[in-house]
Amino acid sequence: MGESVWVLGATMTKFGRFADKDLVDLASEAAIGALDDAGVGMRDMQVLAAGNLEEASTGVGQRIQHQLGQYGVPVFNVVNACATGATAVRAVYLSIAAGEADMGLAVGAEQMGKQGLLNAGKKARTGEKRVFAPRGRYGALQGVEGVLGSGLMPGVFAKAGLEYAAEHDGVGFEQFAKVAVKNHAHSALNPLAQYRDAFSLEQVMAAEMIGYPNTVLMCCPTGDGAAAVVLVSEKKLKTLDPDQQRRAVKISASVLTSDPFTEADHVQPDINTLTRRAADEAYAKAGVDPQDLDLVELHDCFATAELVHYDNLRLCEPGGAGDFIDSGAPTRDGRIPVNVSGGLISKGHPIGATGVAGIYEITTHLRGEAGDRQVSDAKVGLAHVIGLGSSCGVHILERRAS
Amino acid sequence: MSAPATTRQLPLVRYLALEPEPHLVANECTKCNAVYFETRVACASCENRDFQPRPLATTGTLRTFSIIHRSAKGIPTPYVSAVVNLDGGGVVKANLVNAGTDPAGIRLKMPLRLTTWVVGTDDEGTEAVAFGFEPVEGGSNG
């Protein structure tokens, strides 16, 4: 095995809605933050990866270079659904692991605004004569969303949660709601979170229902934001200042998976199998046991998703995700704190930024720099994201042995 | 020319067969028996490139669901989006109908059967027929 790759600098912008900024403003703010945090400049970067969904065809990485420094280094513009940011980090990781670069910059950024449900509001054609004719790979005569079930995100992730409930005792609406209570409470301590309000279990369960069992307080918002990390080879790190070395965080595992064939994934995306594979591969690579983790940032796009990932990431006993949340284990002062940032539910989910922001959060705790929300004496953490389609990224980070 | 005596009907999707009684027909891999509702170039499970039509059962059980209260523009809510395990194999996504939209009335693993209805009519009077699943009357309520 080659030498390790390290996080040298990390930052994120506040998540929220920033109508007065454009995508490159947000991406540049994060990139400069990470470069300054690392104590290096664009001239030191030998590779750049930019993760973004909505403006992916515009050369986001090059647009960042135009703002911050153009030196002709390779740029990877990546899109991988909600795993886009983690994929950008992994592209830089691979370049360094392959020995092609000593140092590189990964930026994830998104500007979504207040657009409501993703994929919603497609306009129907009007004015043309309408004659039914089968179209597409299903031979459909007209749109099937809402007629043959729902393929939109709230429905898909709600069904993933209730499928788990069907298979395991002690899981229901209340357990899912407790996830959201926890993450909203966590976000109150995070100045970079989009929302910072705590809610009671009663408030979460009584909020507007979006897709049972997820109420609006159990769904992530759309929003704007960016995050960035500077990665460095171990060899290069050893040549840097003691303070840069002291704050560096080791990437013990970087894993990306897609979904293998399963019986039902052509009708209901399987968010479990690829997450389990990614997690198991990451634990093996890092030589870390799930019970060794001091904190986890996982992909809680909906409260139902977080609950099933307790099991997928082996944080709880098999089938025991309901007991895990009921016991308080994933709260900030619990056995394995999960989403102390507030998670996607309350910190926010600007899609391209999310995977990088999870790595920022873990890094900040491992450095002991997380302020009011610091998980005490954090030594090892895991960041997980999953995008439908599907793609899953898992990174395990470790504090430098002192 | 006079209008046809009976209304012309077409299935909303190719994998719904209306005759002799409505049922679903999947594309089954001839090698590993994986089933798909869309056309595939090769089997995602084993790479075999040959498929055959396979009629599926019209009964099954509720694998999972969500009661959709907020959706894309133009889609009436609330409704129940369900995933159904068909008896004898095959998993399908469809609406659960005639079961209400109260979670108290929807039981995971409850027995279901296929049902159809007209979902739209084009400018030549052709009707599109959709399918969904409804609780089996007299099914176990335990």
Q: State the average pLDDT over residues A87-111.
A: 98
Q: Is the overall model pTM greater than 0.90, yes or no? A: yes
Closest approach of B91 to chain A, Cα-based (Å): 6
- Strand stretches in chain B, DSSP E: 9-11, 16-17, 23-29, 35-36, 51-55, 59-68, 79-86, 91-96, 111-121, 127-135
* pLDDT per residue as tens digits for the range A272-289: 999 999 999 999 999 999
Mean pLDDT of A101-109: 98
Rounded average pLDDT over A311-329:
98
Specify the pLDDT at position B138.
59
* Residues B72, A142: C-beta atoms closer than 8 Å: no
Cβ contacts from A onto B, under 8 A: 157
**CB contact (8 A) between residue B63 and residue A163:** yes
Q: What is the pLDDT of residue A113?
A: 80
**Reported confidence tier of residue A117, pLDDT bands at 50, 70, 90:** low
Helical (H) or strand (E) element with A387: strand A380-387
**Helix/strand/coil for A343:** helix
Q: Which residues of B touch A214 (CB under 8 A)?
A: 66
For chain B, the average pLDDT equals: 93
CB-count exposure of residue A174 (10 Å: 0-12, 13-18, 19+): middle
Contact B13 A141 (CB under 8 A): yes
Tell me the one-letter amino acid at B38: E
pLDDT for position B83:
98
Parallel/antiparallel/unpaired status of strands B9-11 and B127-135: parallel
**Is the Cβ–Cβ distance between A104 and A230 less than 8 Å?**
yes
Amino acid in the structure at residue A186? H
Are residues B68 and A119, on separate chains, in Cβ contact within 8 Å?
no
User: Which chain A residues have a beta carbon less than 8 Å from that of B123?
Assistant: 129-131
- The residue whose two tokens read 């306009």 is A123
The per-residue pLDDT for range B95-130, each reduced to its tens digit, is 999 999 999 999 999 999 999 999 999 999 999 999
Q: How do strand A380-387 and strand A295-297 relate by DSSP bridges? A: parallel
**Which of helix, strand or coil describes residue A227?**
strand
The beta-carbon neighbor of B124 closest among A131, A142, A212 is A131
Which helix (H) or strand (E) covers residue A255, if one does? Answer: strand A249-258
**In chain A, what residues touch B120 (CB-CB under 8 Å)?**
132, 141-142
Q: What is the distance between the alpha carbons of residues B89 and B60, in angstroms, rounded to a whole number?
A: 9
Query: What one-character DSSP code corresponds to residue A338?
Result: B
pLDDT digits (tens, 9 = 90+) for A1-16: 468 999 999 999 999 9
Of A154, A159, A208, the CB nearest to B65: A159
Record: contact A268-B92, CB cut-off 8 A: no
pLDDT at B5 over 80: no
Residue of A117, A125, A137, A138 to mutate, interface with B, max B Cβ within 10 Å: A138
Nearest alpha carbon to residue A297 among A257, A356, A227, A253 = A356
b/e string for A358-391 if b means 16 or more Cβ within 10 A? Answer: bbbbbbbbbbeebeebbbeebbbbbbbbbbbebb
